[in-house]
Chain A
Amino acid sequence: MRQLKTRPFPYYVGIHSLEELITRDSRVCVVNILGTESRKVTPVSHAYSGGNVVAGVQYGRTDKLETPLGDIPVYPSVREVMKRGHHFDVGVIYLPPSAVAQAASELVSFNDALKRIVIITEKVATRDSRNIRFLCQEAGVDVIGCNCLGVANAWDHVRIGGALGGDHPEETLRAGSVAIHSNSGNFTTTIAEYLRTAGFGLSTVVSSGKDVYIHFALAEFLYAAQNDPRTKAVALYAEPGGYYEQEALRMIQERHFGFNKPIVVCVTGRWKKDLLKACGHAGALAGSGDDALSKERWFDEYFGTPVFDPEHPVVSKRGVRIPSIQAFPTAMKAVFQAIDEKPDFAAEGDLSLKLWLRDTLLPLPEALEIPLVTPLKPYDEQLALFNKQVGAQFLRQNMRNTSGASRMDPTTQVAELNGTSILELAERTLEENIFFALARVKPQAEDVRRTNLLLNLFLGLEAADYAVVERARAAHATPNAYLAGVTAALGDPPALRRVREHTRFLIDTIREFSLDEQTARFPEALDAHLAGRLFAPETPPEEERLAVLYKEVRAGARGNIVLRLARHALETAEKQGVHLRDPWTFLVAALATATFWRPLLHKRLSRQTVEDATSYLQTIARMVACSVIDRPHNKRWAALTQGDRTARLTDSFTENAFWVLFNRAPNDVERIEFKYLIGLTLTNGPGTLSAKGAKESVSARNHISMAFVGFLANTGLSHGGNGFEAVEYLLERFRDTGLKDPGSPDHGLDLKALAAQAAKDYAVFKRDAKRQGALRVKPIPCINHPVFKGSPVNIDPREDFIRKQCAERKIYNVFQEWYHRLVEELFHQGVTPNVFCVNIDAVLAVISLKLVWKDLQDRTLTLAQLQELVFDLFLFGRMVGVAAEIIDHRDRGTDLDCRTPLGELKFVL
C-alpha cells in the first residue's frame, strides 16, 4: 500500500514547528462536549484560549454549553455542525472508548479542513487506536493521544483538549523557552510547575498519552521543537514500553533531521521490568527490550554523559538524563548554562518540603518535624475559608427515584436505612433510630439521653392542634390526615429559626476560634464575641423547663466542645452580670448541636442537617403527640403534653410513645415487640409512596414540616389499612376461641384445627367467588409474596428473622404460629399450589393484635381505635425513615428535580 509521507518522516506529519501545533487561530469542535469531563474542562479551555471552541457535538441533542465567554452551540452530529456553517480545524474527542474510532472517522469524513484530532479518552482498544492512525494518516490529519490531556501553547494562551494546568491554566502555563513532551498528563503540569521554580517558562507542551500507539510521538515532537524559534530546550518524561524514543534518537543521529537543542529527560519505571502484566500506563512487560533501563541507556548514549547528579552537575550540550523529576529545575539550569542561555524569569520558590497541614496529636522526632508554612496564594485564603466549614458535603444532583438514605435489596427484600438493614434497626429503640436517621451513625449513651430530652421537650400540643385532630376524627379522617393538618400548621416558626441561628453561631464560633476537645483555655477575644451576640441586660421571662436545660448543658460540658462553649457563655454572662438574650432557643440549639457534633465532625451529616435537627425532632415529637388514641383517659399523655412537663423530660421516648398509643407502660416483652414494629416499617426503599411524597415536597422547596406532610399525604389505607385488614382477619378467626393471653404458649387452643377450618372456609369462599365469575379472589392478608414464592415451602426471610429472634428470647405469639399452620393447611387442602410464605406484614399484624388483645377483650379499646392505632404504628416507624429521606433529598437534590420528564408521560383514552 502506498502511504502519504512528509519528509523527513516515512509517514505523514502535518506539523513543521511546535509554534504552529495549536495557535490562537485554531478553531475547535468538541465531541461529547456535555459529557462529565468536558462539561468542566471545556469552558476553562475556551475562556483561556480566547473563545476558540466554535461548536460541540452531543449525539442526539441540540443544546449549548455555558462558558465565561458565552455559550458554545451544541449539535447532534458533526455533519450538523458543518451544516450550520461552523468552521474548525481541530477536533477534540471526549467519548467513551468504544465510540472514539467512530468519532475520529466522523470528524475526518465531514470536515475536509480538519488538521488535528486530540483524543482525551483513556482505555481505547489498541485495535481502534491503530485504525485511527491508518485513517488519519490517509486523510493527512495529526492525532494527539489517546489517553492524554492535550496540548497547550503558553505564548498564545491556547489550550486544546484536556485540562493541562487544571482550573487555572494561566498559573502553570507561563510563557518561556522550554517545550515539554510527557507520557504522563499529570507530569506535564507537574514538570511545568517544577521548572517555574527555577525561572523556566514554556513554549508548547504536549501530553502525549502512553498507550501502545502514541500518535504524536517523540520524533515528530523534536523535529517540530527544532523548528520552533521560541523553544530553547526540551523537557521529556518517558516511561517503559515502546521504541518511540529510540526511533527519535536514531533519526537525529542518522541526520534524518537536524536537532541541536538540549533535552532534559526523566525515565521512570525500572520496577516494571519484572512485571508479567501491565499496570498504569501501557508499560513494557518483562522480556521486552523497551524497559526503563533500555530507555535510560538510549538517552545516556545520546547525551554522552552519565545521569545527572545535582551535587556535581555535569551536562552535555545535548542535554542530560535526570534520576527523578525533582531534578528538572537544577538540570535545566545547568543545561541552559551549557548553551549560554538564561532562564526566562526570576526563580519562583523551590521544591523543598512545605508542610501545609499537620496534626497536633503526636510530636515527632526532631529529624522528622517539618515547620508548618502558610500555603501560597490563593490557597492561604481558601484554607481560612474552608477552616470554617464543617460536616459532610454532597454533590447536588437529580434525586428523583434516587436516594442516598434508603435502598431495597431486590433479592432479600430487606430494606436498608443509611446503610443498615432494618432487621438490625428493629433491635433499637425509637430514639436511637431517630438519632440514626439524622446522624447516620449509632448513638452513644449521651446522644440517646439528649435525643430523648429534645424529643420529650417537643412532645407538647396546643389546644388548637387538638381541636384539628378532633374535628378530623369526627369527619372520619384517617390518622395521616389529621397528623398532616397539625404538622402543616407547624410551618417554620420564629423559635425554630432562632434555634437555627444559634446553631450557626455556635458552629461558626468553634471553627473561627479553632476550638476543639483539646482546647485547654478559651481565647480572651471569645468573651466579647459571645457577649455581642448572646447577652442582654434584661432578665428573660421564667420558663419551667429552662432549669432542666441549664442542668443538662452544664452536666454535659466536660467532653463536648459545644456544651463547653455554651457553659462558658453562661458563666461569662454571670460574671458580667447580664443574661442570655434568648436562653430557651440558645440552650436547645446547644443541646441539639452537641448531640450531633460527633457525626458532624466525622462528616456523616451536613451542617444543614445539624442546623435543622431541632425542626426534625420537633415535627416527629409533634406527630407522636397527636396520635394519642384515648385522650380523655390517657393521664400520662396529659402529663407529657400539657401542664408541668418537666417531670418526664429524660424518659425514653420509646416508652412515652408507647404510652401515647396504649395508655400504659410496656412490659419487657412488649418493649421488644414495639421496637420490632417500629424498626420493620422504617423504610421500604425510596420507591415507596411515602418516601416519594416527602421527596417531592422537598423538591418543591417546602419547609421540613411540609415535607413530612408530603409523606403523610402519600400514606393511606393501603398502608396502615393493610395491617388492619390482617388484624380484622385474625380477630374474626380468634373471636370465639376464648383466647386469654396470645403471648402464652399454654393457650390451650388447637391451632392446627383452627387453621384447617380457616383454610376450608377460604377454599369455599374462593370456589363461590369463582362461580360468581370473580376474576380475582380476595387473598388472605399477609401470606404469599411476589419474590418469595415458587418453592415447595416458601419463607419470607424477614418474617423468619423476627420469628427466630422471638424464639431465642422466648417471646411467643399465638397469631404468628397460627399463620404458619394456616399456610400449611392451605397447601394440604389444595388451596395453594405450595406452602405460601407468611410475609413481613403478618409480623406487624400479629404483634399489633397481641399488644391490644387484652384491651379489646376488656372493651377498653374499640375497633375504630384499633384501626387508628395500627395506622399510627405504621406512621411512627415510617416517619423516622422518611426523616432520613428528607435530609438526604435536602442535602443532595435540586429544586423541582422530582418532575417527570415529558418523554415519560403517557396519555390514555
Chain B
Amino acid sequence: MQLSGLKYGAQLLQLVDFPVPEFLTGGAASGEIQAMLDRHRRLVVKPVFHVGVGKKGKAGLVRVVDSLPAALEAKRALYFATHQHGTQTLRANGVTFEEFVESDIEIYFAILESTRRRKPIFSLSPWGGVDIETLGPDKLAHVWIDPFIGLKSFDITNALNDLGCPPRYISPLVQALPRLWDLYESYGLSTIELNPIRIKRAGAGYVPVACDIKAAFDQDNPAWRRAGLPPGIFQQDTSPFEAEINQLRTYQGQSDVLDLNPAGTILPFMFGGGANSAATETLGDRALFTSDFGGNPPYEKMYEIARIALRYHLDRANVLLVIGGKANNTDIYITFRGIFDALRDHAAAQGRVAPVFVVIGRGGPNLIKGMVYARDILDSLKLPYRMFGYDTSMILTLEYAKRIDEWWGREGRRRYLETTTS
C-alpha cells in the first residue's frame, strides 16, 4: 500500500497542513495550465505512478517547462511513461503539472522504522533532491524518535545545524517537520519520504513546500482509512485474483497471495511464511502465484480462498500443490477439507473435472485425517495424486512436483485423459 507523487500525496499532507505546491492533474484544460504558468512562470511535469518509485529525475521523467506547448509536449511524453524498477517495468497513468517552487535549498526528510535500532527514526538532509544513498554521513542525519513524544524540535535543530543548513531555514523547518510525525502516527503510515522539500520565500519569512512524496501504509493498521484517500488507489496494482483474496484478510489465518507468472503451471497452496519463501524460490516461474495460507485458517476462510484460487487458476495448472512444513497449530484436516471441498464444488459447478495432478507435502495436527479426506475426494473425482509424509524434505517434494509438472505438460495429461475416458 504505497503512494507517490502529489496527486494523492497532497491530500495526505494537507491533513496536517503541510504546504504543497499548487498543481493540476493530467486532465487539466490548456487554459488552466496557461493560467498556472502565468502565476508561477515555470511548471514541473511528472508522471503519476501508483507505487513509491524513486530516481524519476535521474530517469528523465521529471520535466521543467515554461510554456504551454512545452507543458503539453511533456504531458504527451510522460503520460504513459515507463520506469524500470528492479526487474519490473512500471507504467505511469497520468501526469501532474506542479508549481515550480523557487528555492536555493532542497531538503530531504523521511520517517521510517529502523530495524537496526528498533525505533522509528527520522532522516534529514539539507542536501536533498538527490539520490539519498549517495550522501555521506556528514550530509545526512538519522535521529531516533520517542514515539510517545514525537519529533522533537531540538533534534531537528541540532541535526540541521550539524549538517550545515543555513540558519534562516532552520526555524521554518522546525515548525513544519514535526507535523509529519502526526501524519505518520495518526494515519497508519510505515514510511514517509519528502524529497525534495523546497523552501520558498513568503513575505519576510520562508515556507517549506513538499515537492514530492513517497509514502507507504501499514496494511495492518486500519488508521490509514482515516486519511480519506480513494481506496481504489491501492487496488490499481492488485490483480483481480489478489483483490478477491485480500477481501478475506482477517487476523485469523494468513491469506497472502501474489500473482507471479500467468504462464505458470503449478497452482500452489503454501502454508507458512517459511514454506512460502522456500517454495516460491524452488518452484521459480512454474508457480502461478505465491501464497501463505498458514496461521490455522478456519474452514470457511480456507474454502473461500481455495474456491477463488481454483476459479482463477485451475484451468491453467498441471499440478495442484499443497505444501508446508510440519505445522504446529494449523489443523491439516480443516485446511485440506477447505481445499478439497472447494475442488469438488468447483468441478460440480463447472460440470467437469479439470485434469490436474495433485502433489501434497505436509505435516501437522490431524495430518492423516486430512490426507484421507483429500484422498477420498480425489478418488471420487478420479484425479491422480501423490501425498508425501512430513518426514520427507519439503524441497524434495517441491522438486518432485516440478518433475510431475514437466511430465504432465509433455504427456501425462494426454495419458490421463486417455485412461479416464476409455
Q: Which residues of A contact B (CB under 8 A)?
A: 1, 11, 36-37, 40-41, 96-98, 121-128, 130-131, 133-134, 149, 162-167, 172, 182-190, 193-194, 197, 210, 212-215, 217, 237, 239, 241-244, 246-247, 268-281, 283, 286-287, 290, 324-326, 349, 351-359, 361-362, 364-365, 367-368, 370, 373, 375-376, 379, 382-383, 386-387, 389-390, 393, 395, 441, 516, 598, 601-603
Measured between beta carbons, the chain A residues less than 8 angstroms from B395 are 324-326
Do A122 and B254 touch across chains, with their CB atoms under 8 A apart?
Answer: yes
Do B389 and A356 touch across chains, with their CB atoms under 8 A apart?
Answer: yes
Tell which of A165, A275, A354, A598 touches B388, judged by Cβ atoms closer than 8 Å: A354
Do B365 and A268 touch across chains, with their CB atoms under 8 A apart?
Answer: no
Do B251 and A362 touch across chains, with their CB atoms under 8 A apart?
Answer: no
Measured between beta carbons, the chain B residues less than 8 angstroms from A149 are 328-329
CA distance A50 to B273 in the complex (A): 31
Measured between beta carbons, the chain A residues less than 8 angstroms from B337 are 393
- Contacts A189-B328, A270-B281; is A602 near B386 (CB within 8 Å)? no
Measured between beta carbons, the chain B residues less than 8 angstroms from A274 are 86-88
Measured between beta carbons, the chain B residues less than 8 angstroms from A280 are 254, 256, 273, 276-277, 290, 292
Binds A, one of B73-81, B172-180, B374-382: B374-382
Tell which of A126, A239, A356 touches B273, judged by Cβ atoms closer than 8 Å: A239
**Residue on A with the closest CB to B252?**
A36
Do A193 and B51 touch across chains, with their CB atoms under 8 A apart?
Answer: no
Q: How many A-B residue pairs have CB under 8 A?
A: 301
- Contacts A125-B218, A126-B221, A242-B115; is A279 near B396 (CB within 8 Å)? no
Instruction: Verify if B346 is at the interface (C-beta below 8 Å from A).
Output: no
Do A383 and B372 touch across chains, with their CB atoms under 8 A apart?
Answer: yes
Measured between beta carbons, the chain A residues less than 8 angstroms from B389 are 354-356, 373, 375-376, 379
**Residue on A with the closest CB to B260?**
A271
Do B407 and A368 touch across chains, with their CB atoms under 8 A apart?
Answer: yes
The 7 closest A-B pairs by CB, nearest first: A184-B274, A190-B325, A186-B272, A187-B274, A125-B221, A163-B329, A351-B393
Measured between beta carbons, the chain B residues less than 8 angstroms from A368 are 400, 403-404, 407
Chain B residues 79-120 with CB under 8 Å of chain A are 85-88, 90, 113, 115-116, 118-120
Instruction: Verify if B247 is at the interface (C-beta below 8 Å from A).
Output: no
Do A375 and B368 touch across chains, with their CB atoms under 8 A apart?
Answer: yes
Q: Tell me how far the C-beta of A570 lies from the nearest C-beta in chain B, rounded to whole angstroms.
A: 27
Do A325 and B394 touch across chains, with their CB atoms under 8 A apart?
Answer: yes
Do B393 and A326 touch across chains, with their CB atoms under 8 A apart?
Answer: yes
Q: Tell me how far the C-beta of B277 lies from the nearest C-beta in chain A, rounded to whole angstroms.
A: 4
**Residue on A with the closest CB to B115?**
A242
Measured between beta carbons, the chain A residues less than 8 angstroms from B57 are none
Instruction: Verify if B344 is at the interface (C-beta below 8 Å from A).
Output: yes
CA distance A190 to B118 in the complex (A): 28
**Residue on A with the closest CB to B278?**
A268
**Residue on B with the closest CB to A188?**
B328
**Residue on B with the closest CB to A267?**
B277
Do B325 and A186 touch across chains, with their CB atoms under 8 A apart?
Answer: yes
Do A603 and B341 touch across chains, with their CB atoms under 8 A apart?
Answer: yes
CA distance A149 to B330 in the complex (A): 12
Do B407 and A271 touch across chains, with their CB atoms under 8 A apart?
Answer: no
Measured between beta carbons, the chain B residues less than 8 angstroms from A184 are 272-275, 277, 325
Q: Tell me how far the C-beta of A44 lies from the nearest C-beta in chain B, rounded to whole angstroms.
A: 10
- Contacts A130-B113, A182-B274, A356-B387; is A362 near B329 (CB within 8 Å)? no
Instruction: Verify if B322 is at the interface (C-beta below 8 Å from A).
Output: no
**Residue on B with the closest CB to A378?**
B368
Name the residue in A182, A213, A269 with the highest tally of chain B Cβ atoms < 10 Å from its Cβ.
A269
Q: List 16 A-B contacts (CB under 8 A).
A: A41-B329, A122-B295, A182-B274, A184-B273, A187-B278, A213-B115, A214-B115, A268-B281, A281-B276, A325-B278, A354-B392, A355-B389, A361-B416, A362-B415, A364-B407, A603-B380
Could you list 7 further interchain pairs (A-B, Cβ under 8 angstroms) beyond the known A186-B272, A279-B258, A379-B368?
A186-B294, A193-B325, A214-B115, A277-B258, A279-B292, A280-B256, A361-B383
Do B325 and A187 touch across chains, with their CB atoms under 8 A apart?
Answer: yes
**Residue on B with the closest CB to A237?**
B274
- Contacts A357-B385, A368-B403; is A352 near B86 (CB within 8 Å)? no
Measured between beta carbons, the chain B residues less than 8 angstroms from A287 are 54, 85-86
Measured between beta carbons, the chain A residues less than 8 angstroms from B341 are 603
Q: Tell me how far the C-beta of B391 lies from the nearest C-beta in chain A, rounded to whole angstroms.
A: 6
Name the residue in B251, B258, B385, B391 with the highest tally of chain A Cβ atoms < 10 Å from its Cβ.
B391
Measured between beta carbons, the chain A residues less than 8 angstroms from B383 are 359, 361
Tell which of B237, B271, B296 touches A277, judged by Cβ atoms closer than 8 Å: B237
Chain B residues 205-222 with CB under 8 Å of chain A are 218-222
Q: Tell me how far the C-beta of A394 lies from the nearest C-beta in chain B, rounded to whole angstroms.
A: 9
CA distance A389 to B147 in the complex (A): 57
Q: Tell me how far the C-beta of B251 lies from the nearest C-beta in chain A, rounded to whole angstroms.
A: 5
Q: Tell me how far the C-beta of A303 lies from the nearest C-beta in chain B, rounded to whole angstroms.
A: 20
Q: Which residues of B contact A (CB under 8 A)?
A: 1-2, 51, 54, 85-88, 90, 113, 115-116, 118-120, 146-149, 185, 188, 190, 218-223, 237, 251-252, 254, 256-258, 271-278, 280-282, 284, 290, 292, 294-296, 298-299, 324-330, 337, 341, 344, 348, 363-365, 367-369, 371-373, 375-380, 382-397, 400, 403-404, 407, 412, 415-416, 419-420
Measured between beta carbons, the chain A residues less than 8 angstroms from B348 are 441
- Contacts A325-B395, A357-B385; is A97 near B220 (CB within 8 Å)? yes
- Contacts A127-B218, A324-B282, A387-B372; is A193 near B188 (CB within 8 Å)? no
Do A97 and B277 touch across chains, with their CB atoms under 8 A apart?
Answer: no
Tell which of B273, B295, B367 touches A379, judged by Cβ atoms closer than 8 Å: B367
Measured between beta carbons, the chain B residues less than 8 angstroms from A389 are 372
Do A395 and B299 touch across chains, with their CB atoms under 8 A apart?
Answer: yes
CA distance A270 to B373 in the complex (A): 35
Q: Tell me how far the C-beta of B289 lies from the nearest C-beta in chain A, rounded to whole angstroms.
A: 9
Q: Tell me how far the C-beta of A171 lies from the nearest C-beta in chain B, rounded to whole angstroms.
A: 9
Do A362 and B419 touch across chains, with their CB atoms under 8 A apart?
Answer: yes
Tell which of B251, B364, B371 touches A96, judged by Cβ atoms closer than 8 Å: B251
CA distance A215 to B119 in the complex (A): 11
**Residue on A with the closest CB to B330?**
A186
Measured between beta carbons, the chain B residues less than 8 angstroms from A41 are 329
Name the residue in A188, A272, A359 with the highest tally of chain B Cβ atoms < 10 Å from its Cβ.
A359
Q: Tell me how far the C-beta of A820 lies from the nearest C-beta in chain B, rounded to whole angstroms.
A: 35
Tell which of A186, A362, A365, A370 touches B324, judged by Cβ atoms closer than 8 Å: A186
CA distance A182 to B325 in the complex (A): 13
**Residue on B with the closest CB to A598?**
B380
Measured between beta carbons, the chain A residues less than 8 angstroms from B2 are 276-277
CA distance A278 to B237 in the complex (A): 12
Tell which of A189, A242, A383 touches B326, judged by Cβ atoms closer than 8 Å: A189
Do A324 and B278 touch across chains, with their CB atoms under 8 A apart?
Answer: yes
Q: Tell me how far the C-beta of A210 lies from the nearest C-beta in chain B, rounded to whole angstroms.
A: 6
CA distance A281 to B295 in the complex (A): 12
Measured between beta carbons, the chain A residues less than 8 angstroms from B363 are 190, 193
CA distance A123 to B377 in the complex (A): 33
Measured between beta carbons, the chain B residues less than 8 angstroms from A194 are 393
Tell which of A121, A277, A358, A382 touches B369, judged by Cβ atoms closer than 8 Å: A382
- Contacts A276-B85, A279-B292, A280-B277; is A122 near B391 (CB within 8 Å)? no
Measured between beta carbons, the chain B residues less than 8 angstroms from A237 are 274
Measured between beta carbons, the chain B residues less than 8 angstroms from A326 are 393-396
Name the residue in A163, A190, A387 with the highest tally of chain B Cβ atoms < 10 Å from its Cβ.
A190
Do B371 and A357 touch across chains, with their CB atoms under 8 A apart?
Answer: yes
Measured between beta carbons, the chain A residues less than 8 angstroms from B118 are 11, 133, 213, 215, 217
**Residue on B with the closest CB to A97?**
B251
**Residue on A with the closest CB to B219?**
A278
Name the residue in B218, B337, B407 with the highest tally of chain A Cβ atoms < 10 Å from its Cβ.
B218
**Residue on B with the closest CB to A348?**
B391
CA distance A354 to B371 in the complex (A): 14
**Residue on A with the closest CB to B149?**
A1
Tell which of A128, A167, A182, A193 touches B391, judged by Cβ atoms closer than 8 Å: A193
Do B416 and A362 touch across chains, with their CB atoms under 8 A apart?
Answer: yes
Q: Tell me how far the C-beta of A159 lies from the nearest C-beta in chain B, rounded to whole angstroms.
A: 10
Tell which of B113, B237, B329 touches A37, judged by Cβ atoms closer than 8 Å: B329
Do B391 and A166 touch across chains, with their CB atoms under 8 A apart?
Answer: no
